[in-house]
Amino acid sequence: MPYKEHTLSNGVRVYWEPMLESRAASIGVWVRTGSRFEKPVEGGVTHFLEHMCFKGTKTRSAEEIANEMDFLGGEMNAFTSQEITSFYATVLSENAMRAGDLLGDLLTNSVFDPTELERERHVVLEELAESRDDPEDRVMENLFRIYFRDHPFGAPILGTEETINGFTQDLVGHYFREHYHPGNLFVTIAGNVRWPQMIESLEDSFRNISRNSGKSVTISRPEPSFSRMEEDEDFEQVHLCVGVQGLPQSHPLQTTLRVLSTHLGGGMSSRLFQEVREKRGLAYSVFASPLSFSDGGIVRIAASTRPSRREELLSVLVDELRRLEKVPLTEGELTRAKNQLKSSLLLGLESAGGRMSKMGRDLLIWGKEISVAEIEHWIDSVRPEAIQSLVKELQWGDAIAVSVLGPLTGK
């Protein structure tokens, strides 16, 4: 069923996918802002602002927001990426309008109280410290640093201690007004809601949204860089992360890349899992995952092993990338990868939250609804020769970035 669409009087667009037999409703607010749009002094402010929206509005204190979130049940949360910030709630249908009212309040009436800001600064600094203690986070962050270099994609989404300590009420408020306006966000809803009443409620909830039209932000296209970075750390294992070139989100060969990545490291039958774990016992887990942006992308391959076997592990990972150029997928391998992708898509749409998220992604990438049948057709159309050609075009066998973290000496 096609999405229903309505534009509020203030210009905010709202989309709804009916699920009339469901007892749930999921609401998401999608904001086209992320770490790539930050100035160097603002590093991490998008993520920090996401936190601060839950810390008090003109009508609710931080405690009242937390109490209402729990009272509604379900789930309410947010996330920040390089290009997107999203706030969402999944609740029982009868609580949908109250959830929408709360989201609207957070995104139009937040006050960024200095006391709450100082308290949340410490929280985010602890989050940053926790991330630094996580070897998987750190080795991936290092990979992005060398792959994207001086581009904003190479900077951490959380920011740094220096930038976080520099955030003020004025800085956060200014960023909020510049990016949280009707031309830069929209609302997606999936589930069983009373549409006319929901629209009326959202008209009221978003009435105080910033009227700032927003200034156009000059962004540079990311250019991949291929080098090796090693960081010595006293862990039990050495953590390896390999990066090869990916594709922009709307690239015609994006589905081919997804099938390829799934075959390479997306399950127990994948080439990497079979070669790294099953045949050689080099690692407990290994995966390959594409990450695409509006104008670029990267495919990440990660695994961990004992220090004495790190070069062997790296050699195997690189050999498997090069083997993709020489050994085409069999029909059985291709079918397995396609089935995994289609299962992930279809099973994710069993929930209101999954459908709401798909709506958001469709609109952000394509500006319109993409039917499940069309996506399945894209997947079914991928052929082995297209995969082999793409690997050669992206130079996976030669253009490789490597991040290494762990005990590099003394063991």
pTM strictly above 0.85: yes
Q: Which of 10-19, 107-116, 192-201, 207-216 has the lowest mean pLDDT?
A: 207-216
Query: pLDDT > 70: what percent of the chain?
Result: 98
CB neighbour burial string for 130-148, b if at least 16 within 10 angstroms, e if fewer: ebeeebebbbbbbbbbbbb
Q: What percent of the chain has pLDDT over 90?
A: 94
pLDDT digits (tens, 9 = 90+) for 37-52: 999 999 999 999 999 9
Q: Using DSSP bridges, classify how beta strands 401-406 and 228-232 pair: parallel, antiparallel or unpaired.
A: parallel
**50 catalytic, yes or no?**
yes
- 24-31/75-80 β-pairing: unpaired
**Smallest Cα–Cα separation from 259: which of 144, 391, 148, 354?**
391
Distance of alpha carbon 167 from alpha carbon 171, whole angstroms: 6
Q: How many residues does the chain have?
A: 411
Q: How confident is the model at residue 308 (pLDDT cuts 50, 70, 90)?
A: very high
pLDDT band at 14 (very low <50, low <70, confident <90, very high): very high
271, 264 contact by CB (below 8 A) = yes
Local structure of 79: helix, strand or coil: strand
Q: Taking all residues of the chain, what is their mean pLDDT, rounded to a whole number? A: 95
> What's the first-to-final CA gap in the chain, in angstroms?
60
Span 97-109, mean pLDDT? 97
Please say if the pLDDT value at position 212 is more than 80: no
Domain architecture of the chain: domains with CATH: 4-205 (3.30.830.10), 228-406 (3.30.830.10)
6: DSSP letter: E
**pLDDT (mean) for 209-216:** 73
- The string of pLDDT tens digits covering residues 273-307 is 999 999 999 999 999 999 999 999 999 999 999 99
| Dihedral sign, Cα of residue 404, residue 406, residue 409, residue 411 | negative
Arithmetic mean of pLDDT, 18-25: 94
The rounded distance, in Å, linking the Cα atoms of 380 and 30 is 30
Residue 72: per-residue pLDDT: 92
Which of 355, 376, 386 minimizes the C-alpha distance to 28? 355
pLDDT band at 190 (very low <50, low <70, confident <90, very high): very high
Q: Distance between CA atoms of 183 and 204, rounded to whole angstroms?
A: 18
Instruction: Read off the pLDDT of residues 104-150 as tens digits, 9 standing for 90 and up.
Output: 999 999 999 999 999 999 999 999 999 999 999 999 999 999 999 99
Q: Which of 17, 38, 42, 50 is catalytic?
A: 50
pLDDT of residue 409: 80
